Amino acid sequence: MTARKAKSTTKRSVRRVKGAQRAVRTREKGALAEYRRKRDFTKTAEPKGRRSAARQKRALAFVIQKHAATRLHFDLRLELDGVMKSWAVPKGPSLDPSEKRLAMQVEDHPIEYNTFEGIIPKGEYGGGSVMLWDRGTYAYPEKTDDPEQRLRDGYQRGDFKFELYGKRLRGSWVLVRLRRGDPQKPAWLLIKHRDEHARPGYDIVAAEPTSVRSRRTMEQIAKGRSRIWNSNR
């Protein structure tokens, strides 16, 4: 290859990379549109969400937030393609493999949401207290060449297998998409696989009532002046 040819090849690949980065940015912007539409960021301290395309190779994040909204539920969030795929789990997770927990898929959330604990003002979307109940990383449960692609495939197929590395939740799990319900807001089942982290008959939601970050109870979060409450005013 001549020097000139090599230079133009480099330029082309730089253009290709920049185009791909733009595509990722656009996709992420679109992915969070529903999240942003539902919230008034002049009133809630929840993050607006801004992701740069320059993602480093690192473990994917997972978080569970206990949320005392109109109805108490647990929000399970798993990072995929620059956003947190999210499910509202009314009863919360169970370590008992015979317990299938209903998980209603909700809009993708920004990755910055993973550190949010505090109060969403009354009258705002999801108004109520939010507790960080568990957090850590997650991965595809088996050795494979492209684990992220395997996770993506599983998610799209509605047979989403993953392994959690949290403080409270560990081991292998699956989210199975049900055929019923609104295709925009599908219902799934969250199930613990049988492995050394399974605990039949154990109620982890009752056993762990406090924040994994601050050790506060829901009542303390609701009463306490949150550090992030309307910090932008």
Minimum CB separation of residue 227 from Mn ion in Å reads 20
Distance, in Å, from the CA atom of 44 to the CA atom of 119, rounded to the nearest integer, reads 8
Minimum CB separation of residue 114 from Mn ion in Å reads 14
Exactly one of 39, 51, 66, 67 binds Mn ion (CB under 5 A); that residue is 67
12 HSE (CA, 13 A, CB side): 6
Minimum CB separation of residue 65 from Mn ion in Å reads 7
Distance, in Å, from the CA atom of 145 to the CA atom of 225, rounded to the nearest integer, reads 47
Is 75 a residue that touches Mn ion (CB under 5 A)?
yes
Is 107 a residue that touches Mn ion (CB under 5 A)?
no
Q: Enumerate residues 6+ apart whose C-beta is below 8 A from 134.
A: 62, 63, 64, 166, 167, 168, 169, 212
Stretch that binds Mn ion, among 19-27, 65-73, 148-156, 197-205 (CB under 5 A): 65-73
Smaller CB separation from Mn ion, 51 or 73: 73
Indicate the burial class of 174 (C-beta count within 10 angstroms; 0-12, 13-18, 19 or more).
Answer: middle
Minimum CB separation of residue 88 from Mn ion in Å reads 5
Which positions lie near Mn ion, rule CB under 5 A?
67, 75
